[in-house]
Each structure stands twice: as C-alpha cells, then as structure tokens.
Structure 1
Amino acid sequence: MSTEPTAQEAAQTLAPADLAVDHTLSLLSGTLRFLLGITPVNADEERERFLAGDTDEPAFVYRDLETDPAVLAAQIDQIPVDDLQDETLHHLLGAKHRELALQVQMLASRGGTEFRELSAELYGAVDPELRSAADGLVARLDARSSRSGRVDAATFLAAAQEEIDRYREIDADVSIHAEVRDDVSGVLVEGDTLLISDRASIPENRVRPLIMHEVGTHLVTQVNGVGQPLKTLGTGLAGYDETQEGLAVLGEIAVGGLTPFRLRQLALRVLTVDRMLSGASFRESFDAMREIGVPERPAFTTTMRVYRAGGHTKDAMYLRGLLDILAHLREGGRLDRLFLGKFALHDLPHVRELDERGLLRPPRLTSHWLLDPGATERIEHAARTNDLTTLTQESA
C-alpha cells in the first residue's frame, strides 16, 4: 500500500491561510489569460498588408480584456501575501504576487512604450553572452525552411488530440484540451488548452516535436501542477516561462525533432528582441532577417511576436532557457522534479524542499518525450556538447 500523502493530507500540513493565498493567486493567474490578451487577432491580415508594401508598421488589434486591469490590480492588492506563515511559501508566492501585478500593468499598457519597459523588467533583456550565442547560431545554421510537406490546422489538431488521449488512458481525469481558433496566431498553450490557429500550416517533420513541446511539456506540467496542494504550480510560479520553454525545446531534442531552421529561429528571436530594445523599427528588424536569407513569412512572424503589444521580450527566453537547462544537466541536475509543475529553475531548491517535507505529490503524468527510445542518449549528448548545432536533425 502506498504511503505517499494524499493531496488533502499534504495540504493539511500547511496553514489554511497560506493555502488560501496560494489558491487565490492561482485563480487570478488562471483568469488573466495573458498570452491571449497580447496576441494580435489580425496578424494574418497585417502580414499580407506588410508584405505587399502597404505599411511599414503593422496596426495590430487585440481582443477586449474580459476584466478591467484596474479591477484586477485591486484584487491583487487585496491578497495578504505579507501574512504568509511558511517561509518558503512567502518567498514563492510573494514573487508570484509581484509578477501578476506587473502582468496586469502590461495588459493595461498594451500598445504603449510602458509595455516594452515592463516586459524587459519581467522577462529580462539580452545579455552579451546570450547575444553572442545567438549570433554564432545564426551564422552557422542553414536559413532554409523545411523541405517536408505541411499539415493544416485540422490535421495538427487530430495529432494533438491523439497525444492527449494517450495521457487520458493513464489518467482518465486529465483535463486538457486542444481546439482550433480563428483569433490566435500559430500554436500556443493557454492554461489547460492547446490553441491552434485555423490558418496554421506546420511542416510535417515539426508535428511530433511541436506536440512534445506544447502537450508533452506545457500541458503535462499543467496537469501535474494542478494536482498539487499548491495550485500555483499549475498556473505557474513567478518566472516559470523561461524554464518551461527551455524544457519544451529539450523535449524537441529528445525526440530528434530540433531542425536547423528551428534552432536558428530561436536564435533570431534573441537578436530581434535585442534590436527592438535598441530602438529598431518593425521594418528594420524584419529587413535584418531578410538580408540573411530568412523567408518573408517566418521573418514577419518572428518580428510580430517580438513587437506585439508594444514590445515583448519573452521570445529571448527560449534559447536562454535551453542553455540554462543544459547547464543544469551538465552540473549533475535532474529533470524529474521539473515536471512537478510550472516553476523557474532558480526556484528548484524551494520546490525540492517542499517535496522533501512531504508537501507535494508525485507527478500524475510522465511526459512521453522522456520515454522516447533515443531520449536518454540525445539528452546526455545535449548536456555534454558545447556546439548546439550538433543537436539538430536535418531529416527529423
């Protein structure tokens, strides 16, 4: 018989008032829908105008926010994080409280210069070491996009749903979904749902690695986090994005699906964020990519992602997060606890402490990319190598 604590038993070892703060932060974070709030609803239309030469600065439009940011800010202010009794929770939830406040400020300033400043504060800028790594990858990797066929939104949805159903065979109560939408761009996860643009066109050789990225990492850690007594592990502790994206790209590597084009794309995102923060216009950043051979549609998408809502620096985190995860592995770190929920690598010691105190439950799901026949060898090679280009697969 298992001696592991149930969620209820684990939760009883923490003060109810502390758990109330955690649950309140999780509820607010879950209703914020931050990514949807800063994703243009007219990206495809503006792309066609831009590529036709009708504009140098796309006029992006964003969906109406469900709740007034001023109301959200007032709700956040009412959460008594200073009264938390547990020292570890005080650190983790205090940081989450500050992050939520910044995100609400960002939503309130969509389209303005303040958004860019807040984004840099929240997600960081580009340091010289990261810039150098990105420059090296861009110079050494092939700019050509995939030569494989492409799949549409319905086909990708079917593949994603099949993967979700495999997890439901393990746990019938898994509450994750995938759907096609006409108001999103590309593919993204929001909460417990994989959102796919109805105009999505995805290279065939990117279908499985992208599913490992979105479903096998983002949705699996969401399920595992929601199953914890601390519900913010499901919606994400402060700064979780960088580690999540690094872990998700590692999942692409684990299944042999990181193509040269994809890795170069991650490096280009870093350089585009750096240009944006240095004052380059949308057109200037787009032209810089075209000059080195990036096809016009991927160049537009990369530029749009960085310049949306006034300037979003998050895209520099994919490469930075991967480098951090690889350094963690190189130093003898493990991956298992990173699947307990969504949190930043620098908070791993705090999560480990909570786990060792018996306050957390084992993960409900094990990501399928960890079980891929070649995963262990590929991950070990990734941790050892000083040359990221050796992680790519031309024919993946």
Structure 2
Amino acid sequence: MTAKTPRTTPDEPAPSTSGGISLRDRAIDHELALVSQSFRFLLDVTPVNVEPAREEFLSSGRLPEFVYRDLEDDPDVLRRVLKDIPIQEVDDAVLGTLLRNKHRELSLQIDLLESRDTEAFMPLSIELYGAITPSLRHTAEQILESVTVPKSTKDSSYRAEEFLKLAFEEIGHYREQDPDIEMHAEIREDVSGVMVSGESLLMGPSSKVQKVRAAALLHHEVGTHLVTHVNGSAQPVKIMGSGLAGYDETQEGLAVLAEVACGGLTAFRLRQLAARVLTVHRMVSGANFAEAHQALLEDGIPASSAFTTTMRAFRSGGMTKDAIYLRGMLELLEHLKDGGSLDLLLLGKFALEDLPLVTDLQERGVLEPPRLTPRWLEDEDSAARLGRAAALGDPALLVAS
C-alpha cells in the first residue's frame, strides 16, 4: 500500500503514457487508490446488530445500542500512509485536481472512522455529504404529502437466498459481456438489508425484497454500483473504481435513475427517499432516535421501515448520507433536461461536477471505453422513460404506473 512512486529530477521529465499522463502521476493515482480500497467505509460505519436492535426497539421502545465491527486498520496508520503520498507532485493539472480532492476526502473519512459514536461524527458527516437545503426539504415534504402507496392484498417478497439467486443471474448477464470481471454477491451475518461494498453485493440473512422491487434493486445495485466499479477499476486512472471525491451523490442518483429507466420506481420507494431526507434533517435539528422514528410513523411510514430509515441516519453518531439519494436524482434529471448525457458517468464513480474534468481526460485518450454497459440502458423504453422523467417538474410524477 505504501510502495514508492517513481521519482524524477527537475531536469528529467517524467516519462509519459497515453494522453500525456506520466508514469509518476499514474503511480501516485495507484497508491491513492490502494489506500481508498484498504478500508470499507460504509461497512465500518454501519451497525452489525441491526436486527436484534430493531426487534427490541419495536417491542419495548428501548433506544437501540448499536454495535460496530472492529476497524481493520488504525486510523493513525491510515492517516500516516495517506500523508506519505506525494499528492502535490502530480504534474497533470486535471488529474492533480481530482487526486488532491480525493486525498482530502479520504482524510475526512478517516476522521469519521476515528469519531464513530461520538459528537464529532455528525459535523464531519455534514462536511462530507453537504447540508440539506430548504428546497430539498420542501421537495421531500411534497412527496410525502402527495404520493400514496396503493393498498395491496398481499406482500410478496423474495427471501435472501432467493434474491441472491437473482443477483447471481444478473451478474451472469454481465459476465457474458466480459467473463473476466470481478463481481460477486453473498449473504453475510454482519449485514442488514442489501448493499454494495467494493466489488461485492452483500445482503443480510433476514433480508427480504418485495418482488415488485426486485428488478429495480438489481439495476440499482448490480447494474449501477457494481458496473461502474468494474468500469472504473479498468481505467488507467484507478481511483475511478473506488470513486473520486464526492461521487456518492451522483452515484446514488444514477442508481435511482436506473430504477426510473426500468419502470421500477414505486410509490413506496420514492416516499422512502423523501423520508430519508426528512429524517436526516430532523436529526441534525436535534430530534432523538425515538422522536425521528415517531415522526416517520406520523408520515405514514410502516414501523419496521421507519426503524431502518432512522437507524441509517443515526448510525455512528449521525450519518447524513441518506439525503443524497433524492438530491442526486434531481440533479441528474436537471442534467438530462439541459441536454446532458449519462454515457460518461458510466466510466467510473465520480461527481457530476467533475464531469468536465473527466471529459477532458476522455478526450485526451487517457480513459478507456467502458467494459460493461448497464442492462437498464439496453431497455428500448429506458430512453423514453428518462426523457419523460427529465421533462417533469414534479418528482411525485416519477412513480411507475
């Protein structure tokens, strides 16, 4: 992880590779990518005892005491490794900007890991993910007021083992495009729900996925998060696999657009995204766990789902990430409305605001074409659905009919 990067003297220019990126610049990028991949931030800030905590809270009202996995690396060690990367020596102006921003973000993530379950965590989380604007909060409130979930006579769901089989089939589709891709799925005891970490789709043994949501969830997790990980990891700029600074918002927005593109964004799901925004806002405004959960019940969210949403916000001391799903989707819809494309966003994991810099690298021949094309973009109706979604002024109208 701390391999020495090639050095040159001032009189000896670093040898260039395609697109004018020097071997030294690429080596610094590789080293930064290794640090980024050396810890699994989302896993490390998520409790391992969600299900027993849920059962106890819903039955007794006792506030949950969350337990977290031990950190594999001492934050001080990670911080020292990061400090030793000669990030200021990157010659290429565009790549240097991207790598320096990522370097700062990794430093902030290390600070967050060190601050788990302390009062210092939430301010750092707000710094990482941004604040909730009044406009975003108003949009979330409108969604909960205007979108209703149709009453269903039965709740048909896939168990974890059944959904895992569907995930294997979906991964198999992408292996038909490229048999050498690193993409996996597994059930883990220390995971609740369904999530992606690195090259793996992870799910808890008690996870259930509504059948009406299964295809959209596969496009979200496999067709977006894993596909962009594979595409980014294959780039000469390796940090695009683990993600450039601030990539989460655009990545999650893109994954929600995948749900829209396949016609799988349900009323329940859109309300869930809005509820996440409001729960983060309530937490930041001073509500405790029980108060935030009760507010969701009053918003018409089922008790168990309300627990999940509240847990996601309050984990580790105040994780504000959940506000970015709705915000990222709305920003990408505006991007499409202005004539933008999603194509380059599939080359790896990066923020929409970095699109001009990534475009520069692509036009100079630094970046490679994507190894994989998402299945949801191959749907003949996806372009029409996305076009209609971008033209709508009201997010409540995005729900699949």
State the TM bucket, normalised to the shorter chain.
over 0.9
TM-superposed deviation, 1:12: 7.5
TM-superposed deviation, 1:85: 0.6
CA contact (8 A) 1:11 1:229 kept: no
TM-superposed deviation, 1:243: 0.2
Q: Secondary structure at the match of 2:112?
A: helix
Question: Aligned letter for 1:141?
Answer: V
Aligned to 2:348: 341
Cα distance change of structure 1 residues 277 and 158 upon mapping to structure 2, 3 Å threshold: same
The reply to whether residue 125 of structure 1 matches residue 131 of structure 2 is yes
TM-superposed deviation, 1:13: 3.2
Aligned to 1:251: 258
Q: Secondary structure at the match of 1:188?
A: strand
Aligned to 2:91: 85
The reply to whether residue 218 of structure 1 matches residue 199 of structure 2 is no
Selected match of 2:204 from 182, 194, 197: 197
Aligned to 2:120: 114
Quick one: distance in 2 between partners of 1:232 and 1:100? 12
Superposed CA offset, 1:61-91 (max 9, x none): 0000111111111111111111111100111
Where do 4+ consecutive residues of structure 1 move more than 3 Å? 9-13, 143-148
The reply to whether residue 136 of structure 1 matches residue 142 of structure 2 is yes
CA contact (8 A) 1:225 1:232 kept: yes
Matching of residues 225-244 of structure 1 within 5 Å: 225-244=232-251
Cα distance change of structure 1 residues 387 and 65 upon mapping to structure 2, 3 Å threshold: same
Aligned to 1:327: 334
Quick one: distance in 2 between partners of 1:211 and 1:132? 30
Selected match of 2:368 from 361, 371, 375: 361
Q: Secondary structure at the match of 2:120?
A: helix
CA contact (8 A) 2:19 2:366 kept: no
The reply to whether residue 188 of structure 1 matches residue 195 of structure 2 is yes
Cα distance change of structure 1 residues 181 and 110 upon mapping to structure 2, 3 Å threshold: same
Quick one: distance in 2 between partners of 1:144 and 1:391? 15
Selected match of 1:102 from 104, 108, 131: 108
Quick one: distance in 2 between partners of 1:354 and 1:14? 9
Question: Aligned letter for 1:335?
Answer: L
Quick one: distance in 2 between partners of 1:22 and 1:32? 17
Superposed CA offset, 1:267-320 (max 9, x none): 000000101111110000000011122110000000000000000010000000
TM-score with structure 1 setting the length:
0.95
Aligned to 1:6: none
Question: Aligned letter for 1:152?
Answer: R
Gaps of 5+ in 1: 1-8
TM-superposed deviation, 1:125: 1.5
TM-superposed deviation, 1:148: 4.3
Aligned to 2:174: 167
Q: RMSD of the alignment, in Å?
A: 1.3
**What is the number of equivalent residue pairs in this alignment?**
385
Q: Which moved more, 1:342-351 or 1:364-373?
A: 364-373
Question: Aligned letter for 1:113?
Answer: E
Aligned to 1:63: 69
Question: Aligned letter for 2:275?
Answer: L
Quick one: distance in 1 between partners of 2:400 and 2:39? 37
Quick one: distance in 2 between partners of 1:125 and 1:47? 28
Selected match of 2:22 from 15, 35, 38: 15
Selected match of 1:207 from 192, 214, 221: 214
Quick one: distance in 2 between partners of 1:266 and 1:294? 12
Gaps of 5+ in 2: 1-15
Quick one: distance in 2 between partners of 1:25 and 1:145? 50
Percent identity (aligned): 52
Q: Secondary structure at the match of 1:137?
A: helix
Selected match of 1:149 from 138, 153, 156: 156
